[in-house]
Amino acid sequence: MDINELANRYREAWLVARRVSSGINLRYSAFWPEINPNRWEVYQGENKILRLPEPSEDEIDCMVQCMRWLRWVTEEERKLIWLRASGLPWRVIAKDLGVNRKTAYGHWCKAINRISIHILQKKSG
């Protein structure tokens, strides 16, 4: 898998995670990132009932697979991957992490490449 494919998989996983009800037991909670709504999501959601469709079993399986892959990276890299999957621009991510935009991108590439290497090793071995 290349960087773009992995980035797309994590974006899809993030979108599915937003639709998963809290009652679903995923059995892999150690890799499950904490999901906190940002201030705009809270503001826009006031006094509204939004019902997104429940994700399919295949979507949940793909999301859990992505979460399993996170065990190969550090806690900081997990946060970085999840922030980028949420669709935030690099400028905002860099500010949140307290680093330069290019530094954040470099750390993200390193983490994604590490995951990609592990995936390729599992496929070949």
Please state the φ and ψ torsions of residue 37, each to the nearest 5 degrees: -65, 145
Residue that has been written with the tokens 């797309």 in this structure:
8
Q: Where exactly are the structural domains of the chain?
A: 3-124
CA atoms of 57 and 13, how far apart (whole Å) = 13
Q: How many helices (H) and strands (E) in the chain?
A: 6, 0
The pLDDT, as a whole number, for residue 54 is 87
**Residuewise pLDDT in 10s, the chain (125 residues):** 789 999 999 999 999 998 887 655 555 555 556 666 676 666 666 666 667 788 999 999 999 999 999 999 999 999 999 999 999 999 999 999 999 999 999 999 999 999 999 999 988 86
This prediction's pTM: 0.75
Entry field: residues in the chain: 125
What pLDDT does 45 receive?
62
- Please tell me the distance from the alpha carbon of residue 82 to that of residue 10, in angstroms, as a whole number: 7
Give Cβ neighbours of residue 94 (< 8 Å, ≥ 6 apart).
100, 101, 103, 104
Element (H, E) at 124: helix 101-124
pLDDT of residue 25: 52
